[in-house]
Amino acid sequence: MTIEERINELRDKLNHHNYMYYVLDRPEIPDYEYDMMMRELIKLEEEHPEFKTPDSPTQRIGGEPIKEFEPFTHVVVMQSLANAFTEGELRDFDRRVRSSVGDVEYVVELKIDGLSVELIYENGIFTIGSTRGDGYVGENVTNNLKTIKSIPLRLKDNLNLIVRGEVFMPRASFEKLNEERELNGESLFANPRNAAAGSLRQLNPKITAKRDLDIFVFNLQRIEGVELKTHVEALEFLKEQGFKVSPHLKKCKNIDEVIEDINYIRTIRDSLPYDTDGAVVKVNDLEKREILGSTVKDPRWAIAFKYPAERQKTKVKDIIVQ
Ligand SMILES: NC(=O)c1c(N)nc(OC2CCCC2)nc1O[C@@H]1CCC[C@@H]1O
């Protein structure tokens, strides 16, 4: 086996085991074996940098700090979401949707309380990742995103696609981070969302790599050469390509089932290992989404439902953001 073949073999093996451990939570080998392969790859790449590829798992360690983030103009505008606070407002949303496209199936997802990012893949390779910013221009945080182990550096197929997801910090990691910061006399993060935002917008990727960030992918923004009919199909497809997709995805025949599922989420959300700030209701049929279109800033085919307790948090967050 040539050096290049050994480097490629280690890269593919490590990317596979990374997927098993961080996306499926089903490790196949002991950490020690993974670490030994990673150590060999680091050494070989240092000796033969010409064989290093952009999807090498050594990129997850984090490179050198940068001075500032490059602005990045999104290929597809990153919309935000209108809010509903009551059942009545959900039914108003449903009436508006049905008056325009007739009866629809909905999908209910958890609304992960993190920060929204766009990931661009070219020929199956993760090439650019950015924060949402104002929806049009965000920050290029590619190298920091590469340290998030549940973001695939290479897809199963060599596809050109753009996805959106929510980067978050699990609550336990947030509490551990604040304990460490308190011991070091550093300022504390107010909540996991701020900790995730602060960690992703770190100028030193080696610090980001230590922050235990995770991601759920929730929207396929664009894809070439693949026809998909519904949002559920799109998320299934993204799972097959190696992404970690929001675990609670409920397909609903009508708004009554949506309300039922939203009430169910209310009972489980405090037991989840990550913060949510509501639920998201989306039209499942992608063609009907096209017909419904968007307002200047929000899609007409989706709405966020905020639980009563959220109201206070939403206000506080908005004040900080403003
Ligand atoms: N935070 C989430 O878990 C989430 C989600 N599961 N699904 C969407 O779908 C929106 C995005 C584009 C049109 C519909 N948005 C989410 O978060 C949004 C992103 C920006 C503002 C909200 O946080």
pLDDT digits (tens, 9 = 90+) for 84-115: 999 999 999 999 999 999 999 999 999 999 99
What is the reported pLDDT for 239?
Answer: 97
Mean pLDDT calculated for residue range 241-263: 96
**Is the predicted pLDDT of residue 316 greater than 70, yes or no?**
no
Print burial letters for 79-90: b (CB count within 10 Å at least 16), e (below 16). Answer: bebebbbeeeeb
Relative to the CA of 114, which ligand 1 atom is closest? 1
Q: Which two tokens stand for residue 303?
A: 């709405």
Cβ within 8 Å of residue 77, ≥6 positions away: 135, 136
How far is residue 276's CA from residue 111's CA, in Å, rounded to a whole number?
5
Task: Say whether 288 sits in a helix, a strand or coil.
Answer: helix
What is the reported pLDDT for 3?
Answer: 96
ipTM entry = 0.97
Give the residue with greater pLDDT, 320 vs 185. Answer: 185
Mean pLDDT calculated for residue range 265-276: 96
Model confidence over 110-131: pLDDT tens digits?
999 999 999 999 999 999 999 9
Single out the catalytic residue among 111, 146, 250, 306.
111
Radius of gyration of the chain (CA): 21
Q: Calculate the average pLDDT of the chain.
A: 94
Residue with CA nearest ligand 1 atom 16: 111
Model confidence over 58-70: pLDDT tens digits?
999 988 999 999 9
111 lines ligand 1 (CB under 6 A): yes
Relative to the CA of 116, which ligand 1 atom is closest? 19
Q: How far is the CA of 8 from the centre of ligand 1 (A)?
A: 36
Active site residue 250: no
Q: Helix-strand-coil percent breakdown of the chain, rounded to 5?
A: 45, 20, 35
Q: How far is the CA of 134 from the centre of ligand 1 (A)?
A: 14
Q: How far is the CA of 166 from the centre of ligand 1 (A)?
A: 7
**Is the predicted pLDDT of residue 287 greater than 90, yes or no?**
yes
Share of the chain above pLDDT 90, in %: 92
Amino acid identity of residue 145, one-letter, is L
**Is the predicted pLDDT of residue 177 greater than 70, yes or no?**
yes
Q: How far is the CA of 111 from the centre of ligand 1 (A)?
A: 7
- Pairing verdict, β 106-112 and 83-84: unpaired
How far is residue 271's CA from residue 87's CA, in Å, rounded to a whole number?
23
What is the distance, to the nearest Å, from the Cα of residue 177 to the centroid of all Cα atoms in its chain? 21
74 lines ligand 1 (CB under 6 A): no
**Is the predicted pLDDT of residue 271 greater than 70, yes or no?**
yes
How far is residue 169's CA from residue 114's CA, in Å, rounded to a whole number?
7
Q: Check if the beta carbon of residue 219 is closer than 8 Å to that of residue 280.
A: no
How far is residue 137's CA from residue 133's CA, in Å, rounded to a whole number?
6
**Which backbone phi and psi does 69 adopt, to 5 degrees?**
-90, 140
Beta bridge partners of 168: 214
Mean pLDDT calculated for residue range 188-206: 97
Position 35 confidence tier, pLDDT thresholds 50, 70, 90: very high
How far is residue 153's CA from residue 165's CA, in Å, rounded to a whole number?
15
**Is the predicted pLDDT of residue 192 greater than 60, yes or no?**
yes
Position 321 confidence tier, pLDDT thresholds 50, 70, 90: very low
**Is the predicted pLDDT of residue 222 greater than 80, yes or no?**
yes
